[in-house]
Amino acid sequence: MPHGSRKEGSLQTADTQSNEAKQEAAKIRRLQIMISMVMSVISQDPTLTVEEASELVAGTKRAALAMFPDKELAYDIIYRPRLQRLMRERYHLQ
């Protein structure tokens, strides 16, 4: 194998990894924006019922797991406590 071919192959691999990292970062950012929007709606919409808020939270988890299928534990550690705390504060739940 000529030396140049090996270099091109490693550059393509690096480009692919860089592109995958960018896509992953974009997905994470979309998830963060979605969580932020849901939290804003729950905290700011005075007409939102606890049932509607609960459905928003459930939909958020479904969407997060659709984006990151094997990351339920990460969701439960990072986002679930924030959403639960907001629900308790907003609706005076125990």
Residue 3 — pLDDT band, cuts 50, 70, 90?
low
Output the six-digit token pair for 35.
């969580």
Q: What pLDDT, in 10s, does the model give residues 8-61? A: 667 778 889 899 999 999 999 999 999 999 999 999 999 999 999 999 999 999
Question: Could you tell me if 68 and 27 are in contact, meaning their C-beta atoms sit under 8 angstroms apart?
Answer: yes
Question: Is 34 within 8 Å of 60 (Cβ atoms)?
Answer: yes
Is the pLDDT higher at 13 or at 75? 75
What is the spatial distance between Cα 51 and Cα 64, in angstroms, rounded to a whole number? 20
* Per-residue model confidence (pLDDT) at position 83: 98
pLDDT number for residue 23: 95
Q: What is the pLDDT of residue 14?
A: 82
Place of tokens 């030396």: 3
